[in-house]
């Protein structure tokens, strides 16, 4: 799989398949029937959905060539089966992204017979720091963290280092020293998600019009990178698209709705809305409906892939959705398992994302979350 240098666009052959062997089954899930069967149990998808299609798949052309091993990190090798795992969730589980992410971690722990303790910081960063410290006090020997913010983790990192607790971060990054502070980051290429959202907006508007951005919450790499990718692509490909409004909707439905209500007041002639997640996009639809708009009056593009957003494509309210797959359980546990065995784990594992539009929304709806 990864041994052919020609499949790496000029980069040295990635070592994912050779040094991170446990991930191979997950990465090959779309190709190998035996893997797909295992993933059936792990993916945690909708009824009627295709578990193999729902599972996260590593993007073999992305990620890092740099690796981390227990020896490099100065941590004793371990058998994950014997460890107590702590999982820290960042945001409230009202967003299907968070519900699915937590369910995927719990399901994978259960499948492997690993003891799991969890905490949810409800979007309060100080709470998340104390949550993770509590998890360690309760005996968590291994951590999976979905960070709310990217900076400010020093107290946790210092304690984890002192206690020899390896950390895998999922969906957002912690700014720190790879391998010293954390083993690996698993998530999407968020700049690319922004570019793909821009491509969808450019197509929807025929390359011309006024666009608003509903920004995600501040203080994390996801918002920064989704914004960067979108703006760069618009600037590069559609100079006649003008970004006239940017405001955070905090990644929440209520935030997306109230910001869109203000937007319609200040910019009644708005042509498109890029919402940096589905929840804000769904809030925008509610605001537009309330203002008497019809589907297609304002073109909306979002990121995530929730069932409700994909249904809104079918209903004509949302033009397209770039997927961000939250089913991190299998890869997160694979990463810790490999690390515990003394294997080298890439310090960044990037997953590939699909997208939904009017062409495939109906067929793909059962694979949304």
Give the footprint of ligand AHR on this chain (CB under 6 A).
91, 95, 97, 171-172, 222, 251, 277, 279, 303-304, 324
Question: Residue 16 or 193: which CB sits closer to ligand AHR?
Answer: 193
CB of 170 to ligand AHR, least distance (A): 9
Question: Residue 279 or 348: which CB sits closer to ligand AHR?
Answer: 279
Q: Distance between CA 50 and CA 48 in Å, rounded? A: 7
What φ, ψ does residue 24 adopt, rounded to 5°?
-55, -40
CB of 222 to ligand AHR, least distance (A): 4
Question: Residue 142 or 303: which CB sits closer to ligand AHR?
Answer: 303
Kindly state the tokens that stand for 261: 């209500």
Residue 292: HSE in the Cβ half-sphere, 13 Å Cα cutoff: 2
Kindly state the tokens that stand for 171: 């969906």
CB of 214 to ligand AHR, least distance (A): 12
CB of 112 to ligand AHR, least distance (A): 24
Closest CA to 254 of 236, 233, 277, 271: 277
Q: How many CB atoms lie within 10 A of CB 241?
A: 22
Cα separation values, 141 from 106, 115, 345, Å: 16, 10, 18
Question: Residue 39 or 278: which CB sits closer to ligand AHR?
Answer: 278
Question: Residue 92 or 243: which CB sits closer to ligand AHR?
Answer: 92
CB of 19 to ligand AHR, least distance (A): 27
CA 38 to chain CA mean position, Å: 22
DSSP-assigned beta bridge partners for residue 67:
346
Q: Distance between CA 329 and CA 168 in Å, rounded? A: 11
Question: Residue 14 or 226: which CB sits closer to ligand AHR?
Answer: 226
CB of 141 to ligand AHR, least distance (A): 26
Strands of 54-156, DSSP E: 67-68, 84-89, 115-120, 142-145
Question: Residue 91 or 364: which CB sits closer to ligand AHR?
Answer: 91
Q: Distance between CA 174 and CA 145 in Å, rounded? A: 9
How far is the first Cα of the chain from the last one, in angstroms, to the nearest whole number? 29
Question: Residue 16 or 324: which CB sits closer to ligand AHR?
Answer: 324
Question: To which residue do tokens 């309060």 refer?
Answer: 124
CB of 100 to ligand AHR, least distance (A): 10
CB of 65 to ligand AHR, least distance (A): 24
Q: How many CB atoms lie within 10 A of CB 254?
A: 14
């Amino acid at each position: 799989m990864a041994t052919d240098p020609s499949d790496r666009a000029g980069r040295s052959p990635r070592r994912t398949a050779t040094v991170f062997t446990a991930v191979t089954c997950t990465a090959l899930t779309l190709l190998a029937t035996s893997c797909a069967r295992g993933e059936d149990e792990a993916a945690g998808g909708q009824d009627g959905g295709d578990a193999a299609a729902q599972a996260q798949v590593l993007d073999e052309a992305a990620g890092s060539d740099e690796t981390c091993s227990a020896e490099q990190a100065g941590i004793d090798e371990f058998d994950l089966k014997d460890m107590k795992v702590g999982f820290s969730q960042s945001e409230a589980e009202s967003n299907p992204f968070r519900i699915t992410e937590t369910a995927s971690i719990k399901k994978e722990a259960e499948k492997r017979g690993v003891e799991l303790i969890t905490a949810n910081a409800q979007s309060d960063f100080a709470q998340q720091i104390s949550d993770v410290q509590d998890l360690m006090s309760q005996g968590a020997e291994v951590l999976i963290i979905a960070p709310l913010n990217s900076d400010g983790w020093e107290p946790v990192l210092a304690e984890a280092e002192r206690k020899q607790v390896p950390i895998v971060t999922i969906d957002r990054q912690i700014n720190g020293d790879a391998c010293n502070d954390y083993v690996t980051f698993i998530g999407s290429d968020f700049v690319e998600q922004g570019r793909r959202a821009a491509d969808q907006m450019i197509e929807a508007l025929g390359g011309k019009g006024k666009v608003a951005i509903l920004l995600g919450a501040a203080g994390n790499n996801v918002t920064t990178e989704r914004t960067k990718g979108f703006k760069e692509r618009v600037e590069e490909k559609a100079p006649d698209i003008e970004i006239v409004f940017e405001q955070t909707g905090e990644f929440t439905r209520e935030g997306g709705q109230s910001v869109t209500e203000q937007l319609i007041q200040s910019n009644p002639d708005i042509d498109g809305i890029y919402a940096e997640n589905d929840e804000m996009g769904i809030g925008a639809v509610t605001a537009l409906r309330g203002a008497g708009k019809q589907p297609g009056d304002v073109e909306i593009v979002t990121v995530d892939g929730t069932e409700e957003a994909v249904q809104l494509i079918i209903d004509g309210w949302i033009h397209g959705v770039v997927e961000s797959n939250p089913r991190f359980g299998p890869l997160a546990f694979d990463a810790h398992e490999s690390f515990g065995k003394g294997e080298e784990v890439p310090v960044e594992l990037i997953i590939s994302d699909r997208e939904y539009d009017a062409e495939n929304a109906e067929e793909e709806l059962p694979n949304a979350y």
